[in-house]
Amino acid sequence: MAKKTVLLTRSYQENIELVNNLQPKGYDCISCAMLEYQIIPFDYSVLDDFSNIVITSKYAANLLGPNLSDHQVFVVGALSARILEDKGYKVAYIANNASELKQYLEFKDIKGIYLSSNHITIDMPTNVKKHNFYRVAYANDLSQEQLNAIKKGVDYILLYSENCAKTLVKLILEKQLLKYLANSVVITISSKVENVVKPYLKNSFAQVGAMQMIDFLESYDKKKR
């Protein structure tokens, strides 16, 4: 039985983690990082004026240093929550996505600081101060090796963010790859991300939570074999 091919769209480092997970399970992986993280200097004294920290990405959770001043965090995703708990933070609330977290912060009238990248899709409430904690650069091209791999056919595409989905669609259209992906199954982290790709890639499914993506892939693939 031929191996199924999975197109990976996270950062280079995160794609490596996915490859290490998927290859032993019999999948061929095409790594197409749709974004690159760039660390910028951060003055931790900024946090002295806030007791509440808002985190919406796993990268920010990993980047944040240990809790030295009894801060609590409001976070998106169980995995990010676990990372922050291991660093000594009290997790006050775990949301499934940034929109849900924004609604909760508004409802509770919570003041705090939002440690985010320079690119965000959801603004937090006005009483939560945004602070650029790191930078994100999105892909503007595909290598010849990536193009050749995609043209051989892709069984599954994993999409973890709205901006990565928009970047992938842009490159697919620019490189005239749509016909090669017409039968690809796209597994997305949420309906919001699915809505970005559905006009172009019809076989799409929305899942809630990054930790369920691989489980869904394996379950779906098992039914199709």
Check residue 4 and give its pLDDT.
Answer: 94
Would the pLDDT of 9 be above 90?
yes
Same domain for 66 and 30, yes or no, is no
My answer on whether 145 and 199 are in the same domain is yes
- 61: domain range? 37-136
C-alpha torsion 116→130→126→159, nearest 10: -20
In tens, the pLDDT along 160-197 reads 999 999 999 999 999 999 999 999 999 998 888 999 99
Q: Same structural domain for residues 214 and 161?
A: yes
Please write the tens of the pLDDT for every residue from 29-80: 999 999 999 999 999 999 999 999 999 999 999 999 999 889 999 999 999 9
Question: What are the E-state strand segments in the chain?
Answer: 4-8, 27-31, 35-39, 52-55, 72-76, 90-95, 112-117, 128-138, 156-159, 185-188, 204-206
Q: What is the domain count for the chain?
A: 2
Confidence label for 12 from pLDDT (cuts 50, 70 and 90): very high
pTM above 0.85, yes or no: yes
Q: Which of 136, 161, 187 is the last residue of a domain?
A: 136
Instruction: Please indicate, yes or no, whether residues 126 and 54 belong to a single structural domain of this protein.
Output: yes
- Is the same domain home to 29 and 43? no
Same domain, 68 and 153: no
CATH of the domain at 51: 3.40.50.10090
pLDDT for res 155 = 96
Same domain? For 177 and 197 the reply is yes
pLDDT in tens, 86-131: 999 999 999 988 999 999 999 999 999 999 999 998 999 999 999 9
Q: For residue 224, what pLDDT is reported?
A: 77
